[in-house]
Amino acid sequence: MESAVALAQRFGTPLVIYDLEKLDASIAQITAAAKRYDVTASYAGKAFLCVAFARYLHERGIGIDVSSLGEFETVRRADIPAESLTLHGCMKSDAEISLVIDGFVGRSVVDGCEELARTIERSSRQQPAPILLRLNTGIAASTHAAIRTAGDASKFGITPNAEREALALLRAAEGRVRFLGLHAHLGSQIDEPTAFIAHALALIDAAARFTAEGFPVEHIILGGGFVGDPEPILAACIPAMRERAALRSIPFPAIGIEPGRAIVAAAGMTVLRIGAIKRTSLRRIAICDGGLYENPRPALYGVTHPLRLLSRADEATEPTLLCGRSCESDELGTYDLPLSLTAGDAIALLDTGAYTVSMASTYNRFARPAVVAVRGNDAALWMRAESLDETVARDVRP
């Protein structure tokens, strides 16, 4: 592989690099687990999405979840067929709801009764909109509150006390929507089988309730949130779900999962350059050319990415606070860095493939970084760095 330093010289820093061999390994791991347990896998596009990557996933048989018109436009330009797309979102606009009504996406995951009513109102018996209902199973998994998407404090999904209203709306729809099944999602970076099992069994119990009301559940989507290989979670959940479905006397639904971070996180790294070094009475501080604007995860929920020094050999080190260049404290973590660290040295933050590029902003009007995909000695530019003209392109002169 062309060195990260050489790539940084070609494309500038910050630079996000995806290792396609690592990406292939994670895709193979997930598709193998899905095949073993007879489940389908659809990628959570919010983790990272661009036209080239959408096409890359489609070529490997992975569906894609989109949650906005922007994400949909990305997959449209990648020529992803509607049947491979699932529409998400907890407050869909009329234009987003139109995507499922007009057949541009294969199905919509309806997040609440108000959205269900709007979808029904705009659909027709001649072309009923295919939908799943997103439920809040009430299970609050052990993860950071910012990335927990179920439980009594969550904004997502239809709560148990709203199920009767949802069922009433489905009856009143008189065939204007095609009810496919149920969906629920616990959150991100969940490494506890007990929460997943409770979540999965709650969905089977809900399927039994909907079936008893005349709405059989053909599909259940468990969501994502896997730290890595989903096989241990599926090994725990699928047999328990089959047993519960038999106990409830309902046919076992088709099961789906929606990995995002598990596919892309480990494949990505961000190359940065040290720009300034300062000493206070308490510590040494190194300031790099990245930070909050290109990776808000450390600020949002305390993530510390592993660091690799690229510019110099191992030598004596000292604990150093790494900060970004944004006009915030912008702390990225404390690392053991060489005593001789100097401006211009290159570093890499690892495991930045998920929720970095997709969450990047133009805070301080810094340009968002380029994205390069690498296999062996071949490097392909997936997203070019934002230009200054693009940064100010939306401004209207007085």
| Mean pLDDT computed over 205-210 | 96
At 77, which helix (H) or strand (E)? helix 69-77
Q: Are strands 378-383 and 346-350 parallel, antiparallel or unpaired?
A: unpaired
Active site residues: 327
Are residues 239 and 287 both part of a single domain?
A: no
Q: Decide if 215 contacts 19 (C-beta within 8 A).
A: no
Q: Which of 244, 263, 282 is the last residue of a domain?
A: 263
Cα–Cα dist 354/225, whole Å: 12
The verdict on 386 and 251 lying in the same domain is: no
Domain ranges, residue 151 = 37-263
What's the pLDDT at 88? Answer: 97
Q: State whether 208 and 252 are in the same domain.
A: yes
pTM of the model: 0.92
Whether the CB-CB separation of 231 and 15 falls below 8 Å is answered with no
> For 73-104, what is each residue's pLDDT tens digit?
999 999 999 999 999 999 999 999 999 999 99
| φ, ψ (nearest 5 deg) of residue 74 | -60, -50
Alpha-carbon distance of 17 to 378, in angstroms, equals 12
DSSP bridge partners of 43: 64
pLDDT for 32? 96
Reduced to 3 states, what is the DSSP secondary structure of residue 124? coil
Q: What is the pLDDT of residue 146?
A: 43
| Strand ranges for 267-377 from DSSP E | 268-279, 284-288, 307-309, 317-323, 331-338, 346-350, 370-375
Residue 10 has pLDDT above 90, yes or no: yes
- Which residue has better confidence, 141 or 310? 310
2 band by pLDDT with thresholds 50, 70 and 90: low
Please check the confidence at residue 1 and state whether its pLDDT lies above 60.
no
Considering the chain, what is the average pLDDT of its residues?
A: 92
| Domain termination site, one of 237, 263, 289 | 263
Task: Report pLDDT for 224.
Answer: 82
Segment 314-320 long-range contacts (CB within 8 Å, at least 24 positions apart): 314/338, 315/339, 315/340, 318/284, 319/283, 319/284, 320/283, 320/284, 320/285, 320/286
Boundary (domain end) residue, out of 263, 286, 315: 263
The per-residue pLDDT for 148 is 39
Q: Are residues 282 and 255 both part of a single domain?
A: no
Q: Which of 46-50, 223-227, 272-276 has the lowest mean pLDDT?
A: 223-227
Q: Provide the domain count of the chain.
A: 2
| Residue 189: predicted pLDDT | 65
- In this structure, what CATH number is given to the domain that contains residue 241? 3.20.20.10
CATH number of the domain to which 295 belongs: 2.40.37.10
In a domain, 231, yes or no: yes
Per the domain annotation, does 30 fall within a domain? no
Assigned domain for 397 exists:
no
